[in-house]
Amino acid sequence: MVAGGILAVVGAYFLVSALFFGGGRHDAKAASSRPSLPFVQTSLVQPVLRPYAVVIRGRTEAARIVSIRSETSGVVAATPVREGSFVQAGQLLCKLNIDARQASLDQARADLRAKQLTQKASAELAAKGFRSTTQLLADQASMDQAAAAVRQAEVALNQTNIRAPFAGVFNERDIEVGGFLSPGTACGVVIELDPLKITGDAPETDIEKIKTGARAHAVLASGERLDGVVYSVAKDADPQTRTYHVVMMAPNAGSVVRSGLSAQVNIDAGEGMAHLVPTSALVLDSAGRQGVRYIQGADLVAFSPVTVIDETPGGVWVTGLSGPLRVITVGQSYVSEGQRVRVASR
């Protein structure tokens, strides 16, 4: 009888365990096999009206570069300007030996004075009826010819002085004293640095935003800023790079900024809505497009490509987004479009 009671108690124990504890172990196992949702953190980003700018890489260039060439032949007698010096328009750069040019001018002037006296006498005689009109006209023509010879001799003498055509920098000298210059041979090169030209190439995606006359500024590698305007925009793309050449002009008082310096050119391109997002929020999608991932609907991940228009210490300003968005700022690299996630906003 006692044995039968013990068997009844043991049977009751196993029955209760099967009913209450066996099912709990099954539920725990099922729960552990169910996949958990990834966790992300978001930040609500609002659109803001902001000026747009097109940013291109460029370099400084001289507004004009002219090789100053001789118009006559002769031996160089003087080179009074040092290379790298600032010169004014008309300043003497190279001087040739005068040789017989001064004598030719003196002779031409003397001949002109003689012809002037002859013409004057003819006019007086013609007034008294002692000289024909034909003779008077011949003497006048002879005087005019002598005057032309004087002007020709003056030009020939003046051509021995090779001068700067505009204010700028005498960048290089191509001849020394004692050297011989023939017509077309260079004395040196003058460059104009005020105003300064800054050139760059804009991609075809941005070229329609750039207008002639738009305000622009260039930031040099040294941090110096030059303010100016867009001077010209190419209408034809480079066949190799598919970019368009853009020229900006900026004042350069005293020609302080040199030619050939690297610069970042920022060109005003109107204004529109933009979003400020953390730099770390930028990701690439499967197609290699740069953009941001954000949360939409029932905690689903979405992706939108963006264009960066400005970089600041607080993040990057981008276009391509619409309205307020919950941009993923933590975990954005570990989720994909269409995936459901757990969200913690801040």
Domain boundaries, the chain: 39-50+273-345, 55-62+191-269, 98-159
Q: Supply the mean pLDDT for the chain.
A: 87
Model confidence at 6: pLDDT above 50? no
What pLDDT is stored for residue 125 in this prediction? 87
Was domain 39-50+273-345 assigned CATH 2.40.420.20?
Answer: yes
Average pLDDT, integer, range 12-18: 43
Give me 334's structure tokens: 């570990």
pLDDT band at 12 (very low <50, low <70, confident <90, very high): very low
Cross-strand pairs, 238: none
Phi/psi at 268 (nearest 5 deg)?
Answer: -65, 135
The answer to whether residues 195 and 249 touch, using CB atoms and an 8 Å cutoff, is yes
Evaluate if residue 19 carries a pLDDT over 60. Answer: no
Q: What is the pLDDT of residues 308-323, one digit of tens each?
A: 888 888 999 998 899 9
Q: 98-159 has which CATH code?
A: 1.10.287
Instruction: Write the pLDDT tens digit of every residue in 102-154.
Output: 999 999 999 999 999 998 888 888 888 888 888 889 989 999 999 999 999 99
Contacts of 241 (CB under 8 A, 6+ apart): 201
Alpha-carbon gap, residue 56 to 240, rounded angstroms: 17
Does residue 14 carry a pLDDT above 90? no
For residue 40, the number of C-alpha atoms closer than 13 Å in the C-beta half-sphere is: 26
Contact assessment for residue 45 and residue 276, using Cβ atoms and an 8 Å cutoff: yes
* Residue 16 clears pLDDT 50, i.e. is over it: no
Task: Residues 55-62+191-269: name the CATH superfamily.
Answer: Efflux pump adaptor protein, beta barrel domain (2.40.30.170)
pTM (predicted TM-score): 0.65
Distance between CA atoms of 156 and 71, rounded to whole angstroms? Answer: 9
Query: Which residue matches tokens 């118009």?
Result: 71
- State the average pLDDT over residues 62-72: 95
